[in-house]
Structure 1
């Protein structure tokens, strides 16, 4: 979900730079939905693991897992809140210079989350399976 949301955010940024507010808002909305879907899957996974008795207190690996993945999820949640705030600002004021700057800052934040997720996924999920 998160990596696909990076693509939709890229389309939102391209629409913004082209001065097309409608498509930018649509792509921002799609990014928000994908970010929230990512959070829902993460919350479900945490709930499921705790229900199985494999919570963070079980082992050092699980403590690290919950800390790393949970911290990333918290940042995604803040990114979603930032997305909503930006969408409200664009709706009220349009694609002003300040909103384009805010969009650029959020774009860097969102794409950085993707890069971090690639690392977390690689070390926690892929290498954890070995």
Structure 2
């Protein structure tokens, strides 16, 4: 009787593990499709920027020190997300929630700074409809920002789930997917900062 009970638990564990691996694989496929979308946005930005002769260009409107501070906040959030995953290995629920909250705060600061940057540009008359450069710039950066907002909402949902259900197989998988998503957004932003902002002020 006890042997059958143990075997059933083992089979149930392997079944859950297989489901979680399938979900992780599916999420990797989603990230690859998202990568293609961003690649198209980068390509569009580069083409439209190179073909746009009208004022303004990145040299006139970008505030690199300000955007660098934005970038630092987002990169710090990636580190705190890593720490939260380390706390998952230790099964420390309180510290997982703490580091997720810090990640949430850093990501929120990034979004607020980005929105303020948009507000400043638009208030100066640099709207998306002004020229092809601004249109592609606002589109690329906004879509990344929307992804970050989705990530922030995801963090809130995971924190609530962990508070209610603790650490189970489902929440572990959700945390792994969140970590992949958040680091993916950091990599995309590094590309945005390098291609859009840094090169935009040089070329």
**1:31 pairs with 2:106:** no
TM-score of the aligned structures, taking structure 1 as reference length: 0.98
**1:2 pairs with 2:74:** yes
Instruction: Give the C-alpha shift of residue 10 in structure 1.
Output: 0.3
Structural mapping, 1:44-55, within 5 Å:
44-55=116-127
1:26-63 CA deviation, whole Å, 9 max, x = no partner?
Answer: 00000000111110001000011000001111121111
Match of 1:69 among 141, 154, 167: 141
After the TM superposition, which parts of structure 1 deviate over 4 Å for at least 4 consecutive aligned residues?
Answer: none
Which whole-Å CA distance do the structure 2 matches of 1:44 and 1:112 have between them? Answer: 24
Q: Decide which moves more: 58-67 or 103-112.
A: 58-67
Structural mapping, 1:1-130, within 5 Å:
1-130=73-202
Instruction: Give the C-alpha shift of residue 95 in structure 1.
Output: 1.0
2:33 corresponding residue in structure 1: none
2:35 corresponding residue in structure 1: none
Tell me, what secondary structure is at the counterpart of 1:88?
A: helix
Instruction: Give the C-alpha shift of residue 97 in structure 1.
Output: 1.4
Which whole-Å CA distance do the structure 1 matches of 2:187 and 2:84 have between them? Answer: 19
| Aligned residue-pair number | 130
Structure 2's unaligned 5+ residue stretches are 1-72
Structure 1's unaligned 5+ residue stretches are none
Higher alpha-carbon Rg:
2
- Which structure exhibits the higher relative contact order, with contacts defined as CA atoms closer than 8 Å and separated by 6 or more residues? 2
